[in-house]
A = this chain, B = another copy of it.
Amino acid sequence: MTGHSIYEMVKRLFPICRSITGNGVRQTLRIIKQYIPEMEIVEVPTGTRAFDWLVPREWNIRDAYILDPEGRKIVDFKQSNLHVVGYSIPVNRTIPLSELQEHLYSLPGQPEAIPYVTSYYREWWGFCLTEKQRLSLKPGNYHVYIDSSLTEGSLTYGELILPGKTEKEVFLSTYICHPSLANNELSGPCVTTFLARWLSSLAHRKYTYRIIFIPETIGSLVYLSRHLPVMQKNIVAGFNVTCVGDNRSYSFLPSRYGNTLADRVSLHVLKHMHPDFIHYSFLDRGSDERQYCSPGVDLPVVSVMRSKYGAYPEYHTSLDNLELVSPEGLQGGYEVLQKCIECIERNEKLIVTVLGEPQLGKRGLYPTLSIKNRPSQVKDMLNLLAYCDGANDLLAIAELIGKPAWELFALVELLKEHNLLREAD
């Protein structure tokens, strides 16, 4: 089961302290490149414009901790990289508890969890800790130390193009900017890596695959600002791959109007594979579809997920860890995306080559003896043929006749071999 290998990869990437820039991202991309060597790593300098945004300064962190009045290290970045607010500026001071409190973040409703907090675009420093630990702090002077740097540098992302028969593209985007968080985030890049390996291994690809590993928001904006015309020209369907690692629900988040090929294929696959999936609204979005589906960008991008970001209690806390995701959970996320891709690869408008029903019997495709009910495979074949009128693609036909598209793949092949079916112009 591929899920085991994906889980091993998640474990390997888990300890790294990622952010939207910095060495944690580079280290992550170098490990991903070990799995998919064709991937290129791209650096974009601080200050580069991306539509309404600028690439921020690069952030790196080496160490951070709080010493209590007795000099004991009570909060330690080396124990959990969630302990430091992302993009914290350097600090090295002794301050009373009252002042420290203004820089502490915890979750009263989840007293055992360390929250994940960032401050990318305003200079600030802070520590995150459990509510339980926070309540145990006694008055006195605390030493706070953050050995970080914010410097001119660059934003780093990975890009893999797998060419196909046509220049039309399927797009996979996933993000690599969260520190030690498992479902949201590492499930995304790791499942994407294994999808890329599978796609790379295929003897035949109809579509070209554009696969990117980027920091969320600023990364997708940067990438779009550099590639928008070709993406708009070529992408037929795209998936923002995130939150595909836990074992609970399946979820779907549509594109802006919910009417693209990516929407159609995802709903078709989920309906047949996981009919109890949760159908979110575009209003519930919160990841890079915010950029991909924005007005004027208008890419056909959706998210097919397990438990959606923001919709499970462990989200953005230290509880979103290696216990929350599992080989089975990752396998489920991997398979549903794989099935979507297969359906896109096999999707085409079809047309029958004869008028009236073909005489299936003389080709051995029809029972010679007519006795009450027809077998169901013959029914499927006749129904498939009935809607192959050049107006419908295979997905539409599958919807019309109430079958998973993948149950029709072999029938389409068979009917093509008998010259009864061809791709419509």
A interface residues with partner B (beta carbon < 8 Å): 50-53, 85, 105, 107, 115, 117-122, 124, 217, 220-221, 224-225, 228, 256, 282-283, 286, 290-291, 293-298, 310, 315-316, 351-352, 354-359, 361-362, 368-374, 379, 382-383, 385-390, 401-402
Between A and B, 17 residue pairs with Cβ closer than 8 Å are A51-B354, A51-B355, A51-B356, A52-B358, A119-B369, A119-B370, A121-B368, A122-B368, A124-B369, A290-B382, A294-B355, A295-B352, A295-B385, A295-B387, A296-B355, A298-B389, A310-B373
Does B295 contact A357, Cβ atoms closer than 8 Å? no
Does B368 contact A52, Cβ atoms closer than 8 Å? no
Chain B: CB-nearest residue to A315: B372
Given contacts A52-B359, A124-B368, A371-B115, contact A386 B293 (CB under 8 A): yes
Question: In whole angstroms, what is the CA distance A121 to B360 when docked?
Answer: 11
Chain B residues with CB under 8 A of A370: 117-120
Does A256 contact B358, Cβ atoms closer than 8 Å? no
Known: A105-B371, A291-B357. 16 other contacts (CB 8 A): A52-B356, A53-B359, A115-B371, A121-B368, A122-B369, A220-B356, A225-B356, A228-B355, A256-B387, A256-B389, A282-B386, A283-B401, A290-B357, A294-B386, A295-B388, A316-B371
Given contacts A105-B371, A372-B316, contact A355 B53 (CB under 8 A): no
Chain B residues with CB under 8 A of A53: 356, 359
Copies of this polypeptide in the complex? 3
Does A361 contact B295, Cβ atoms closer than 8 Å? no
Chain B residues with CB under 8 A of A310: 372-373
Question: In whole angstroms, what is the CA distance A260 to B51 when docked?
Answer: 37
Question: In whole angstroms, what is the CA distance A225 to B256 when docked?
Answer: 46
Name the residue in A283, A355, A361 with the highest tally of chain B Cβ atoms < 10 Å from its Cβ: A355
Given contacts A295-B351, A310-B373, A368-B124, contact A224 B119 (CB under 8 A): no
Instruction: Give the distance to chain B from A254, nearest Cβ to Cβ, in Å.
Output: 12
Question: In whole angstroms, what is the CA distance A152 to B313 when docked?
Answer: 78
User: 6 closest Cβ contacts across the A-B interface?
Assistant: A295-B389, A122-B368, A52-B354, A51-B356, A51-B355, A121-B361
Chain B residues with CB under 8 A of A351: 295
Chain B residues with CB under 8 A of A389: 256, 295-296, 298
Chain B: CB-nearest residue to A354: B52
Does A294 contact B256, Cβ atoms closer than 8 Å? no
Question: In whole angstroms, what is the CA distance A52 to B385 when docked?
Answer: 14
Instruction: Give the distance to chain B from A371, nearest Cβ to Cβ, in Å.
Output: 5
Instruction: Give the distance to chain B from A358, nearest Cβ to Cβ, in Å.
Output: 5
Chain B: CB-nearest residue to A117: B371
Name the residue in A290, A295, A362, A371 with the highest tally of chain B Cβ atoms < 10 Å from its Cβ: A295
